């Protein structure tokens, strides 16, 4: 293992904004919470890789291949992966217009739950386009990898689901303490998702991360549309 490998995993956490879990050499090294993603990243300082649980790369029409591949891998947990609308839909100013544009470009509508991601998605995308350390991850894909290729048997908001995910992280050396500091006030599932993102960020930094799909599409800005884990 390469010494001094500092990375950051990030998840959105409701009204609090964003939660980050920092790892050093694959071990827990602290938590951060900020209303702005840019602020959280700035506070993290010189980390080598940043993994964010949010769609970042966008296609111009049709579904993203990364989402279809992730859903195929996750089995019973497939509903945790939204089919992300093409880029033009996210440029619309309201849900009705975005849903119409999505249907024009994909043949399917846009759920209100997916549209609710718009402010965070656009915020994260802007950071991604400005900082090549940032990569897209999906916690359920990361937990599947942590479990040896088996999707979690229990949903992340359940007692058994949360205990399972914390145990998987612990088994990989990401031991979350009972007192997290800034993240003490963050919902448990968001902390666990950020920690899974951090585990993936460590693999990204070491060059050992997996990716889906095997042959990623390209965003209009030239960056790969992929989910790393």
pLDDT one-digit tens code per residue, 49-104: 999 999 999 999 999 999 999 999 999 899 999 899 999 999 999 999 999 999 99
The residue ranges of every structural domain in the chain are 6-57+129-212, 83-116
Rounded distance between C-alpha atoms, residue 196 and residue 148, angstroms: 14
Residues 200 and 229 sit within 8 Å (Cβ to Cβ): yes
Contacts of 48 by beta carbon, 8 Å cutoff, 6+ apart: 5, 6, 7, 133, 205
Task: Output the pTM of the full model.
Answer: 0.94
* 6-57+129-212 has CATH 3.30.420 classification: yes
């Amino acid at each position: 293992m390469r010494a001094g490998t500092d990375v950051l995993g990030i998840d959105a956490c409701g009204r609090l904004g964003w939660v980050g879990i920092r790892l050093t050499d694959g071990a827990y090294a602290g938590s951060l919470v900020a209303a702005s993603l840019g602020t959280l990243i700035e506070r993290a300082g010189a980390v080598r890789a940043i993994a964010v649980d949010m769609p970042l790369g966008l296609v111009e029409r049709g579904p993203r291949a990364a989402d279809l591949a992730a859903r195929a891998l996750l089995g019973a947990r497939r509903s945790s992966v939204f089919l992300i609308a093409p880029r033009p839909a996210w440029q619309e100013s309201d849900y009705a217009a975005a849903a119409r544009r999505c249907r024009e470009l994909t043949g399917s509508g846009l759920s209100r739950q997916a549209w609710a991601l718009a402010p965070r998605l656009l915020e994260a995308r802007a950071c991604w386009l400005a900082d090549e350390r940032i990569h897209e991850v999906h916690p359920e894909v990361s937990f599947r990898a942590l479990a040896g290729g088996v999707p979690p048997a229990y949903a992340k908001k359940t007692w058994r689901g949360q205990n399972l995910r914390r145990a998987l992280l612990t088994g990989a050396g990401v031991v979350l303490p009972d007192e997290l500091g800034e993240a003490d006030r963050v919902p448990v599932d968001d902390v666990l998702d950020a920690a899974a993102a951090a585990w993936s960020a460590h693999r990204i930094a070491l060059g050992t991360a997996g990716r889906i799909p095997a042959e990623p599409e390209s965003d209009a800005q030239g960056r790969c549309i992929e989910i790393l884990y």
